[in-house]
Amino acid sequence: MSEPSALGDRLWLVNGDVLSAKLILLQGGYALVRSPYLGELSVPWEMVKTFETKEAFIRIGLNNGDLISAWVISATDHGVVLRSPQKEGVFVPTQSIIALMRDLGTPAGTEIKSASGVLSAAAGPVPQEPGKPTTKAKKPEEKMWAGSVSLQGAGKTGNRDSISAFLNVEARRNTPRNQLTLRSEAGYGETEGVVDTTQGRIQANERVYYTESAYVLGDMLFEHDRFKDLDLRADGTLGAGIRFWKTELSEFLGDVGFGVSHEIHRNDGTDTNPTVRIGMEYMRRIFAKSKLSQVLTVYPSVGSLSKVRLNSQTTFETPLWDFLSWNFSIVDEYDSQTAKPGVNNNDLSVRTGLSYKF
């Protein structure tokens, strides 16, 4: 059986990332993977939610002492399904695996040993070669969500003094077929001691993939902007999209949805219109760990072709430590119609700050 290509394996991480690289070895709590773009990487096994390897005959050691020699035939949300010449359809939780080695040959008479004990919670050492110390793996706590908390700010002095601050919270829950993203943003700003920015956004976006690249989505967005006399805007859309590509270096996807937009203005009553949501997202890794992302969302109104809203955010982020990173963002918000006289249609801001990963 031929060895799979370097991109034939995939690892789904608990933070939502998908790493395409050849899985070589798992030992001492770290998985060694090889990518043609990033070289060899050591990934903490506790960060791996599940994995998939194509046409690969592997040996697996479990934390209950079992040894498995088999093929991985599918990946589920929290584990893998194996088959051998004697048995098929044995499920193994990812976090029960403490050792793994790729085997290019298929030894005669291989089988799954103690298949019924795969799900056993009994801890035990994996048999090792003579002279090598026995290693016990610590089963990590399962991590269901990943995300970040960011604090960004901007200041100006000279002809006038101004300061603004933005707090952003994002949480994601990913499975191989589903992605749920929750976002919130709160902004506050003063110029010469006068409040000129108070705004907030809450968004829930869910994508369900029915193929490797096509998905359906639901999106809810709530916005408040006191400076624009906007007490509340609520957008609800349903649609579909496609992931044009996804590699370990970049990802690009786009979608279209239809829904309803309801606005409540402080001095101008309410307004409800059917609307279209057009979204695009692009991510590109720069160097080993830094990344550049672009999120563009356009809301053209179905009832009035002259009414359109746009939100664009370009962000560069680079890690400082394992849990802390620095970010720089350019945010452009455009609304062709504003309820408050004297308010510009376009609002451009440059922000920088720190993000805490969880």
DSSP type of residue 169: E
pLDDT score recorded for residue 120 = 34
Lay out the sheet containing 48-53: strands in order across.
Answer: 18-20, 9-13, 48-53
Mean pLDDT of all residues in 339-350: 73
- Number of residues that this document lists for the chain: 358
Lowest-confidence region among 115-119, 134-138, 312-316: 115-119
Mean pLDDT of all residues in 340-350: 75
Mean pLDDT of all residues in 45-52: 88
pLDDT score recorded for residue 206 = 95
pLDDT score recorded for residue 127 = 36
Question: Tens of pLDDT along 215-225?
Answer: 999 999 999 98
DSSP type of residue 65: S
pLDDT band at 86 (very low <50, low <70, confident <90, very high): low
- Percentage, residues of the chain above pLDDT 70: 80
pLDDT score recorded for residue 185 = 93
Domain-by-domain residue ranges, the chain? 9-117, 147-357
Check pLDDT > 80 for residue 124. no
Q: Cα(12)–Cα(7) distance, rounded to whole angstroms? A: 14
pLDDT score recorded for residue 256 = 97
pLDDT band at 115 (very low <50, low <70, confident <90, very high): very low
Q: What is the CATH number of domain 147-357?
A: 2.40.160.40
Question: Tens of pLDDT along 128-184?
Answer: 433 444 444 344 444 567 889 999 987 666 565 678 899 999 999 887 788 899 999
DSSP type of residue 114: T
Contact 137, 121 (CB under 8 A): no
Q: Cα(146)–Cα(326) distance, rounded to whole angstroms? A: 18
Q: Cα(326)–Cα(312) distance, rounded to whole angstroms? A: 20
Rank 24-38, 43-57, 104-118, 270-284 by mean pLDDT and report only the highest: 270-284
pTM of the model: 0.61
Q: Which residues pair with 57 in a beta bridge?
A: 71, 103
Contact 275, 301 (CB under 8 A): yes
pLDDT score recorded for residue 67 = 79
pLDDT band at 125 (very low <50, low <70, confident <90, very high): very low
3 state SS for 186-198: EEEEEECCEEEEE
Mean pLDDT of all residues in 2-23: 72
Rank 5-19, 53-67, 88-102, 229-243 by mean pLDDT and report only the highest: 229-243
Report the chain's mean pLDDT, rounded to a whole number. Answer: 79
pLDDT score recorded for residue 339 = 55
